[in-house]
Amino acid sequence: MYIARQPIFDRNISLYAYELLYRDSSKASVYRSNCPVASTATVVGGLLELDLVHLIESKLAFINVDERFLLHDSIELINPRLIVIELLESMTFTDIVKERIIHLREKGYRFALDDFNQSIHGLEILEWIDFIKYDIIATPLDTIKDSVYQAKKMNKKVLAEKVETYNEFLEAKSIGFDFFQGFFFSKPRIVGEVPKTSTNHRTYLQLIGEIHTAEPSIPKMAKIIEKDVKIAYRLLRLIGNKKLSSQSIVSAILHIGLEAMQKWLYLLLLQDSSMEKPDELLRLSLQRSRFAELISSKSKFMYRSSEVALMCLLSVIDAMMNTTIEQALRPLGVDDEIKQAMIDKTGPYACIYDLVCNYEILDNDKIVQYTRDIGVEYSMLTHYYIESFKFSEEICKRISNA
């Protein structure tokens, strides 16, 4: 899943904003999806998980939403100073929709009407609209002069989209348009990829259910997340390069906060598609994480067991994400010591990482040396391994049954 952007310019052809668009492949030139709400969720998720500076370069982001997504809290995860919410022309402005728009405006969000082709007189919704976008192919410039004039009298900013020639730009500028967008300036370009990392819906519902209890348990939520490497990865990607008080899922949840956590979970529910990678990768990551946790709890890493478990949970993330381990870890705020062990096989965690990831194929001499370095009983490894295998099988069985 990819995000494309198309620049929006002002009357001096200075960059004002970008419209962010969903694309289903890196080569796609047009929108192709039968689920607008999932497309919007992908774009909003990209704004959260990818580098905002890279995506919009400190400019505004125009994002299309339909009625269903507008009514979700997920949009509120984005700072209102960064976005303009484009309302699709197909939207029905019911009382519920109007109330939602008013609520978001009170929080500082701005709105645009996309592909406007109605009479501007007596349209109640215009009271809460900041930008009006005209498709100048569908509504030629010589037919909308009066509409643009009336919009300007109402202090609305007007934007001409699908401007394809220099003459069209000059004509649109002459009748009062403030902003311009179209192939004359630039075609949409792919600027970011949002990983396809779907999670079983039961996991989301468990987490949302825990948030809604009288006394939510963050450790319990962390345990649920730790059993799903994909959602753990998305959570760490959401944190980005911000340093946490400790390298653990609990610390990540505390950093985000429960209200934002709930909105993010709803966003992922909207965005997720079917899992493409084999279940064996999920099973392996769970087994390695549990194996590492059991070993570390009886070793010199006993006070770093959460870091070690997290490291081994992410040990197959490169295969899941179809990328290198360096690229997969780059946007995460995990300790440098974890990255050293996973990428370079160096640092204090290298010995336990190598032992956990290669236990079945390492020769006995290396295993003995690693257990000495780690400070764990060699005789306990088989017991820990079997227990971790049973653990991962049980979790995968529950997921399959669900």
Q: pLDDT tens for residues 55-70? A: 677 788 898 887 777 8
Pairing label, strands 2-10, 189-193: antiparallel
Handedness of CA 75, 80, 86, 90 (dihedral sign): positive
> When comparing pLDDT for 277 and 166, which is higher?
166
Structure confidence at residue 35 as a pLDDT band (50, 70, 90): very low
Pick the CATH number of 2-193 from 3.40.50.1000, 3.40.710.10, 3.20.20.450, 3.30.230.10: 3.20.20.450
Q: Which residues pair with 244 in a beta bridge?
A: none
Lowest mean pLDDT among 53-62, 73-82, 189-198, 208-217: 189-198
229-254: average pLDDT: 75
Lowest mean pLDDT among 36-45, 156-165, 325-334: 36-45
- Residues 248 and 309: beta-carbon distance below 8 Å: no
Domain positions in the chain are 2-193, 208-271, 279-397
> When comparing pLDDT for 37 and 189, which is higher?
189
Q: What is the pTM of this model?
A: 0.53
- Most confident stretch, 83-87, 362-366, 388-392: 83-87
C-alpha span between 12 and 10 (Å, rounded) = 5
> When comparing pLDDT for 89 and 231, which is higher?
231
Q: What is the pLDDT of residue 159?
A: 95
C-alpha span between 208 and 187 (Å, rounded) = 40
